[in-house]
A = this chain, B = another copy of it.
């Protein structure tokens, strides 16, 4: 019995799926499978009824779940109590953000945090920015960086880091190259312009809304995963793209594209931190949270 195994057990109890629970626990499915098996061997009872298609708690598993929750709570409690004693925070916080966000915001956030709390370990995971909120909601990560959605779901806390306009970009004309068409196209012209957009995500939804509001049918040339790829395609002259300004600020291709001053502007990206409100009770997470602004 150790806190790690218990957490893994609770994670599996919550989602009843080895694959997902193993992600939530940041281990491979095989490691989780063995962990659970170890627990079952140690206790001498099966905790889960499982075949290759379904997982469910046994009666013993339900009893043990109560125990595990309590024990993890106690463990947190004593650790917090002793941290107060020592006046120094210590432990680990898991964090999730896109690679872009890690370039833009993370360094600044973490350098100060590391100085103030050298014994809080940050476990950073990067990936699709769209997963920022789901990962926090599922408990897979303590904190994530992402764009604030239209409406925040209950229990989710958000803290603004920066506002970055969502801008239209096109390839910067090479010297001597003739500009074909208007620099500030009218709505009607959009129907003709090939657009390069995120295949999904907040930026995409904003753009879709924008076109809908204008009553214009977009001519979508490419749907791309990742803002960097949009910049890249736009710089090749394949069409007009939409990315947050912050992406341009950190892009090596920034000077190969130019920002179009289009009205009405897209609603700006509000980039910030997400966490579960209840997690703000944790001194560790609170330390990171309240450091900002």
- Using a CB–CB distance below 8 Å, which chain A residues touch chain B? 1-3, 43-45, 59-60, 63-64, 67, 70-71, 74-75, 78-79, 81-83, 85-86, 88, 90-91, 119
In the bound complex, CA of A43 to CA of B76 (Å): 10
Q: 21 A-B pairs, CB-CB below 8 angstroms?
A: A1-B3, A1-B75, A2-B2, A2-B3, A43-B82, A43-B90, A44-B82, A44-B90, A45-B82, A45-B85, A60-B82, A60-B86, A63-B81, A63-B82, A64-B78, A64-B82, A67-B74, A71-B71, A71-B74, A71-B75, A74-B74
Residues of B within 8 A of A83 (CB): 44
Q: Looking at the assembled complex, report how far the CB atom of A73 sits from the nearest CB atom of chain B, in whole angstroms.
A: 11
Q: Please name 12 further chain A to chain B contacts, defined as beta carbons within 8 Å, in addition to the given A1-B75, A64-B82, sorted by A numbering.
A: A1-B3, A2-B2, A43-B82, A43-B90, A44-B91, A44-B119, A45-B82, A45-B86, A59-B85, A67-B74, A71-B71, A71-B75
- For residue A78, which residues in chain B have a CB less than 8 angstroms away from its CB? 43, 63-64, 67
A71 to B64, CA, bound (A): 14
| Dominant secondary structure of chain A at its interface with chain B | helix
Residues of chain B lying within 8 A (CB to CB) of residue A88: 44
Q: Which residues of chain B have C-beta atoms less than 8 A from A81's C-beta?
A: 63
Give the number of times this chain occurs in the complex, counting copies.
2
Smallest CB separation, A199 vs chain B (Å): 44
Residues of B within 8 A of A60 (CB): 82, 85-86
A74 to B64, CA, bound (A): 11
Which chain B residue lies CB-closest to A1?
Answer: B3
Residues of chain B with a CB closer than 8 A to A86's CB: 44-45, 60
Q: How far is the CA of A90 from the CA of B41 in the complex (A)?
A: 9
A85, B63: Cβ atoms under 8 Å?
A: yes
Most buried by B among A79, A83, A88: A79
Name, among A1, A60, A67, A91, the residue most crowded by chain B CB atoms within 10 Å (CB to CB). A1
| B residues near A85, Cβ cutoff 8 Å | 45, 59-60, 63
Q: Would you list the 7 A-B pairs with minimal beta carbon distance, nearest first?
A: A44-B90, A2-B2, A67-B78, A45-B86, A1-B3, A45-B82, A43-B82
- Chain B residue with minimal CB distance to A58? B85
A43's nearest neighbour on chain B, judged by CB, is B82
